[in-house]
Structure 1
Amino acid sequence: MDRPACDLPGPETALPEGVPPLAGEDHHCATCPMDFPTTGLDDVRAIVTSVPGRARELLAAHPEDAWRAPGADGSWSAAEYLCHVRDVYAVFTIRLHRARTEDDPPLEPMLNDLRARRFGYAHAELRPVVDQLEAHVGGFLAELDRLDEPARDRPVHRYPGERRSALWLARQAAHEGRHHLHDIVSCLDA
């Protein structure tokens, strides 16, 4: 199976309001830093495994009010980012499973801002969130262990023009954890 092309939404693809475009297969993030083409499954495993422990360290090191303060320019608080990271590993476990077991499955958008508002992430009890994060990471890693070499190239899609590989899903899950831990630290240090 050919690796899916790095499709980015074009003019023919109108994403719904509040749905950001997916990063490409060749994504490089200078903020975290993360380079998808050089990130193998062992790297993904190491990054993802470290996320709950780092979240626990940050929770222990910062007072409750620091977690609740809104981010700069109205962005999420550290508490909201933490809840989002927890969700990422539940959603990406299911996405990875579907990539492995279905032919080109559609991926529903996470609708991050809607989740944060409707489920009250700004006011969530944070210790249980970290416990749930740890459980979701365990589930994600168990699913990642089932991703054999042929399955890595299996395609998934969200909207037209947004086809990605199962390997991309794994890399994106690692990126989400790493990048949002950076966001959490930025909020806490503000």
Structure 2
Amino acid sequence: MVVVREDERAERANRGVAVPPLADEDHVCPECGLSYAQLPAESAVDLIRRVPTAVRDAVAGIPAGAHRWRPGTGAWSVAEYVCHLRDVYAVYTIRLHRARTEDRPVLEPMLNDLRARRFRYNERDVHAVLDELDANTAGFCDEVARVGPDGWARTVTRLPGEERTARWLVRQALHEGQHHLGDIRRLAQAAADGAGPDPD
């Protein structure tokens, strides 16, 4: 998944490039291989429950001094990915609640790079954020449990012409977790290979 930092996004906006579209209902990620159409919502929730532990295990292999290291221009650090995942499960809890209780609510974009900059993701304590990720993931799963059998086809909208189902929200929430877990593991491997910041 390509992460575009705020200054790059602003430059693109000045050239008339819109917010990237949402993944399709039947999206297959070319990088991590997740296939939305083959993933029942119930299976997605079971996998989402495992995300915090998997992220914590991945972070455990990364020296604290490398938590804020960015491997290149426009790339995120471990701290930024963990903060992003924490926010994903908070935002998707609200999105799913709105899908469940409102008629075709219009969702605001997450504006990930703006969040990372304004809320200073790269200055956060990763271990404290991991605890928040635990809580937010549990809250999301609690909200999923409130979706009735007829609720999965309820829809939300975002950009003009974009309409996605409650089922898609759960699949997308899992994709965020699994995909960025892969990003964190790659950063862990880079740190192990000596590609991170020089030790103090």
TM-score w.r.t. length of structure 1? 0.88
2:46 aligned partner: 46
Question: What does 1:17-166 align with in structure 2 at a 5 Å threshold?
Answer: 19-166=19-166
Moved more, 64-73 or 106-115: 64-73
Higher-RCO chain (CA-CA 8 Å, sequence separation at least 6): 1
Q: CA RMSD in A?
A: 1.4
Shift of 1:17: 5.4
Render the CA deviation track for 1:133-176: whole Å, top value 9, x for unaligned: 00000000000111122110011000111111110001000110
2: CA distance, partners of 1:172 / 1:51: 13
Shift of 1:18: 6.9
8 Å contact from structure 2 (residues 107, 156) kept in 1 = yes
Give unmatched runs, 5+ long, in structure 2.
1-15, 191-200
1: CA distance, partners of 2:132 / 2:18: 26
Count of aligned pairs between the two proteins: 175
8 Å contact from structure 2 (residues 41, 170) kept in 1 = yes
8 Å contact from structure 2 (residues 59, 188) kept in 1 = no
Shift of 1:183: 1.1
1:12 aligned partner: none
Shift of 1:98: 0.2
Runs of 4+ in structure 1 off by over 3 angstroms are none
2:155 matches 1:170: no
2: CA distance, partners of 1:68 / 1:96: 31
Q: Go from structure 1 to structure 2 and tell me whether the alpha carbon gap of 1:179 and 1:30 turns closer, same or farther (over 3 Å shift).
A: same
2:5 aligned partner: none
The amino acid of 2:105's aligned partner reads P
8 Å contact from structure 1 (residues 89, 137) kept in 2 = yes
Moved more, 70-79 or 23-32: 70-79
1: CA distance, partners of 2:58 / 2:20: 27
8 Å contact from structure 1 (residues 67, 187) kept in 2 = no
Q: Go from structure 1 to structure 2 and tell me whether the alpha carbon gap of 1:122 and 1:18 turns closer, same or farther (over 3 Å shift).
A: farther
TM-score w.r.t. length of structure 2? 0.83
2: CA distance, partners of 1:48 / 1:135: 12
Provide the secondary structure at the position in 1 that maps to 2:25.
coil
Render the CA deviation track for 1:36-56: whole Å, top value 9, x for unaligned: 001112221122111110111
2: CA distance, partners of 1:132 / 1:116: 16
> Matched residues, percent identical?
50
